[in-house]
Amino acid sequence: MSRIAKALLVVFLAVASQNSAAQAPQALPLPDERYKVDLLLVVAHPDDEGAATPYLARALDEHKRVAVVFGTRGSSGANEAGAEQAAALGAVREIEARNALTTLGINNVWFLGGKDTASQNVLLSLANWDHGESLEQLVRLVRLTRPEVILTFLPGTFIGEDHGDHQASGLLATEAFDLAGDPASFPEQVAGPTKRLEPFLENLRPWQPKKIYYFPDADRDEKMATSDSFWTETLHFVLGKSLVGGSVTGDVFEGITPGAIPFVRPEISPEPARPELSVDLGGPYSFYAEFRRAHGLTNLPHPEPPEIALQGHTTLVIPLWVRNRTGKTQEISLAASLPAGWTTQSGTGKFTVAAKQVAAARIEVLLPAVPENETKKPEPQEVTVHADSNGQSIGEIKLRVEVRKRALPQ
Ligand SMILES: [Zn+2]
């Protein structure tokens, strides 16, 4: 190398090292800390937050950051303050809910945009809420708020108020708990931007919440948050799952330390073994069994036999799955044992189900009326469906049904 070339190289190296020393490293953008929360409450309707408000107040006293997600705007409620109804009432209730939560100190409040669905059937609510869209938005909000704990309604069908929308909020929250940490779920949410003003990819990070707790709405008498007893009554939460240990009865934040934890795929328990020809309860009942299995929630409380409370002089629908794994068409017969005064309307008798098929069947039962002046507390009654094939029993399905003066439609 010539002396000139050596000199040039030295000058070039000097300039290069000077340049890198002069250029300070640029911090890459990080998630917005203003939206990080400790606790995310996921409920169905504006005012449902009242069911957990005493606990939220305590959490806020303990300087926990709290945000709330509502499934719907509550557009089907009654209006005692003005004339507005339907979507206009929903707009009013959204503002009411935001104002109420602001007085508690909770400013981060979102609405999924579901529609009120007056039934006890979670599947109707999910259909009416655009399940996929609602879940996508809730996963986004979990990734945005990065909650340590999710608190939500208990998914399940119990005797009580047990609104399908309440169940839907708990179900979506459970799905979001299990999906938000998975980089393969809604990957467009966690993809980095392709340009400065990225219009499609969201640059969120996957986030695995650490615990999920449930609270039931069933058998919760209509209590006003203004009554003294409401505030002093113990709130019961059910630990759905904890990925950080802690005890079932310990503090909600027991075992939680700051920082992200790795994504945990739920442990799926095996499908129950069934005979070649079987009949079992369908609808939300069989769905919930699948749901508990899919989300590793086998310890979640659920009534056995399954139960429901319905209004007198309405129709009880018993949804059934008829499964034929044999290689030929099978004939089955369905019969129902009912309490006195209950009458089968349809769905009993003989049916066929083709080879290797699963078909939905349905028995409808007219329930007796409950007199307005009835003072006796209603007691659940047992209904049994008997399924036979070729003179042999292939299933006996039990359902406990309580007939009340008032109840949400099934
Ligand atoms: Zn509600």
Check residue 129 and report its DSSP letter: T
- Nearest partner of 343 among 313, 323, 322, judged by Cα: 313
pLDDT score for 174: 98
Q: Distance from the CA of 228 to the center of ligand 1, in angstroms?
A: 21
pLDDT score for 217: 83
Dump the DSSP string for 2-35.
Answer: -HHHHHHHHHHHHHHHHHHHHSPPPPPP---GGG
Tokens, residue 62: 């303990």
Distance between CA 115 and CA 71 in Å, rounded? 8
Q: Distance from the CA of 116 to the center of ligand 1, in angstroms?
A: 9
Q: Distance from the CA of 307 to the center of ligand 1, in angstroms?
A: 20
Read off the pLDDT of each residue in 153-161 and give the average, rounded to a whole number.
90
Q: Distance from the CA of 152 to the center of ligand 1, in angstroms?
A: 12
Distance between CA 164 and CA 155 in Å, rounded? 9
Q: 371-392 pLDDT, tens per residue? A: 999 999 899 999 999 999 999 9
Distance between CA 312 and CA 404 in Å, rounded? 6
Q: Choose between 226 and 107: higher pLDDT.
A: 107
Q: 240-265 pLDDT, tens per residue? A: 999 999 999 999 999 999 999 999 99
Read off the pLDDT of each residue in 180-192 and give the average, rounded to a whole number.
98
Query: What confidence category does residue 269 fall into, taking pLDDT thresholds of 50, 70 and 90?
Result: confident
pLDDT score for 77: 87
Q: Distance from the CA of 45 to the center of ligand 1, in angstroms?
A: 5
What percent of the chain is predicted at pLDDT more than 90?
A: 84
pLDDT score for 99: 97
Read off the pLDDT of each residue in 268-275 and give the average, rounded to a whole number.
90
Q: Distance from the CA of 43 to the center of ligand 1, in angstroms?
A: 8
Q: 162-185 pLDDT, tens per residue? A: 899 999 999 999 999 999 999 999
Q: What phi and psi values does residue 388 have, to the nearest 5 degrees?
A: -125, 155
Q: 301-334 pLDDT, tens per residue? A: 999 999 999 999 999 999 999 999 999 999 999 9
283: left (phi over 0), alpha (psi -120 to 50) or beta: left
Q: Which residue has the tokens 């640059």?
A: 203
Query: What confidence category does residue 2 fall into, taking pLDDT thresholds of 50, 70 and 90?
Result: low
Read off the pLDDT of each residue in 190-200 and give the average, rounded to a whole number.
97
Tokens, residue 129: 């809420």
Q: Distance from the CA of 165 to the center of ligand 1, in angstroms?
A: 7
Q: 44-54 pLDDT, tens per residue? A: 999 999 989 99
Q: Distance from the CA of 111 to the center of ligand 1, in angstroms?
A: 14
Q: Distance from the CA of 286 to the center of ligand 1, in angstroms?
A: 24
Read off the pLDDT of each residue in 215-227 and give the average, rounded to a whole number.
59
Q: 5-16 pLDDT, tens per residue? A: 555 555 555 555
pLDDT score for 229: 58
Q: Distance from the CA of 255 to the center of ligand 1, in angstroms?
A: 31
pLDDT score for 220: 46
pLDDT score for 19: 56
Q: 87-98 pLDDT, tens per residue? A: 999 999 999 999
**Are the C-beta atoms of 278 and 300 separated by less than 8 Å?**
no
Read off the pLDDT of each residue in 66-74 and give the average, rounded to a whole number.
98
Q: Distance from the CA of 97 to the center of ligand 1, in angstroms?
A: 12
**Which run of H or of E encompasses 215?**
strand 211-215
Q: What phi and psi values does residue 294 have, to the nearest 5 degrees?
A: -70, -25
Tokens, residue 302: 């659920």
Nearby residues of 259 by Cβ (< 8 Å), 6 or more positions away = none
Distance between CA 27 and CA 122 in Å, rounded? 46
Q: Distance from the CA of 90 to the center of ligand 1, in angstroms?
A: 13
Q: Distance from the CA of 120 to the center of ligand 1, in angstroms?
A: 12
Burial class (CB in 10 A: 0-12, 13-18, 19+), 373: exposed
- Nearest partner of 253 among 207, 209, 298, 297, judged by Cα: 209
Q: Distance from the CA of 167 to the center of ligand 1, in angstroms?
A: 10
Q: Distance from the CA of 216 to the center of ligand 1, in angstroms?
A: 11
Residues pairing with 395 in the sheet:
387
Q: Distance from the CA of 119 to the center of ligand 1, in angstroms?
A: 11
Q: In the predicted model, what is the mean pLDDT of the chain?
A: 92
Q: Distance from the CA of 133 to the center of ligand 1, in angstroms?
A: 20
pLDDT score for 223: 46
Q: Distance from the CA of 47 to the center of ligand 1, in angstroms?
A: 7
Q: Distance from the CA of 278 to the center of ligand 1, in angstroms?
A: 37
* Strand duo 381-389 + 277-281: pairing: unpaired
Q: What phi and psi values does residue 383 have, to the nearest 5 degrees?
A: -115, 135
Q: CB within 5 A of ion ligand 1: which residues? A: 44-45, 48
pLDDT score for 222: 46
Q: Distance from the CA of 137 to the center of ligand 1, in angstroms?
A: 20
Q: Distance from the CA of 132 to the center of ligand 1, in angstroms?
A: 21
**Are the C-beta atoms of 362 and 336 separated by less than 8 Å?**
no
